[in-house]
Amino acid sequence: MKEKILTKIKKLMALTTDRGATPEEAALATAKVSAMLIEHNLTIAQAQEFDPDEETINVTEHHMDHGYAQLRWRRILANVICKFNLCHIVVGRQKTVYFFGKPSNVEVVIYLTESIAAQIHKMAKAAMKLNQTRKESFYQSFCRGAIKTIHTRLAEDAVKSSKEAQALVLNNNLALRAAVDAKFDTKVVKHQSPSDGGAFIIGQEAGKAITMHKGMPHKERLMIEGH
C-alpha cells in the first residue's frame, strides 16, 4: 500500500512546467503532494528516494472514433507524435490502432495527438472558409502541412536533447522494434504526397501556432482530483 501511495506522489512530483504541465496543473499537483504526505505520514525525502519499478513496454489498443477524412491524417499525426515520445504505432483494422510503449508514454501520445488534432481540424476548417472552398484535397493537404511543421518542431527539440537522452531513445527504439515484430506483421502508416500544394503551405504556416505542451495525462488528473 505504501509503495502505491509513493508511486502516485512520485508521478505528481514530476508534473512541473519544465515537463509540459501548465502552471495551474503544476500548482495543483504540488498541493496534492503536500496533502498526501500529511495524510499518509510520509516525508518528502521518502518520496524523492522512492524508486518505483520501471515500466515495461506494452501494447495499447486504441480506437480513433473519427470519420475517414480525419482518420487519414490523424494516423499520420499519431505516428509523428510516437516518434518523439518513445512509442510506435501499428495500424489495425478499420479505426483501430495499436500503440507500443510504456503506458505513461502512450498516455502522453494519445493526449498530444487528440489535443493537436483538434487544433489542426479547427484551423483547417477556418482556412477552407477563408479560401471559399470545400474541397477534400484542400482539407487533407492543409492538415498534412500542419503535421509537417509539427514534425519539424519536434525534431528541432530532439536535437537539443543530451547525449544520454539520445542514447535512451536509441535503446528504446530497439526494444520497441522487437516488441512490434514479435506481435505483428507490421503495417506502416503511409505518407502520400499532398495533392494541393497551396493548402499544404498554408497548413505548414499554421502549424507554427499550434500548442504542443504535454499537459496532464488523464491518470494524473484523477489523482489530483482525488479519484
Judged against a pLDDT cut of 90, whether residue 149 lies above it is answered with yes
Distance CA 151, CA 2 (A): 41
Judged against a pLDDT cut of 90, whether residue 122 lies above it is answered with yes
Q: Tell me, what's the pLDDT at 63?
A: 93
What is the percentage of the chain residues whose pLDDT exceeds 70? 81
Asked if 190 contacts 71 with a C-beta cutoff of 8 angstroms, the reply is no
Name the CA dihedral angle for 212, 218, 222, 224, rounded to a multiple of 10 degrees: -20
Distance CA 138, CA 136 (A): 5
Q: How far apart, in Å, are the Cα atoms of 50 and each of 31, 33, 46? A: 19, 14, 6
- What's the whole-model pTM score? 0.69
Judged against a pLDDT cut of 80, whether residue 177 lies above it is answered with no
Q: Tell me, what's the pLDDT at 224?
A: 46
Report residue 99: phi and psi, to 5°. Answer: -100, 125
Question: H/E element holding 113?
Answer: helix 103-130
Average pLDDT of the chain to the nearest whole number: 83
Neighbouring-strand partners of residue 55: none
Take residue 145 and report the three cell numbers written for it: 502541412
Q: Is the dihedral of CA 124, 71, 219, 227 positive or negative?
A: positive
Q: How far apart, in Å, are the Cα atoms of 11 and each of 6, 8, 93, 99, 186? A: 9, 5, 34, 21, 33
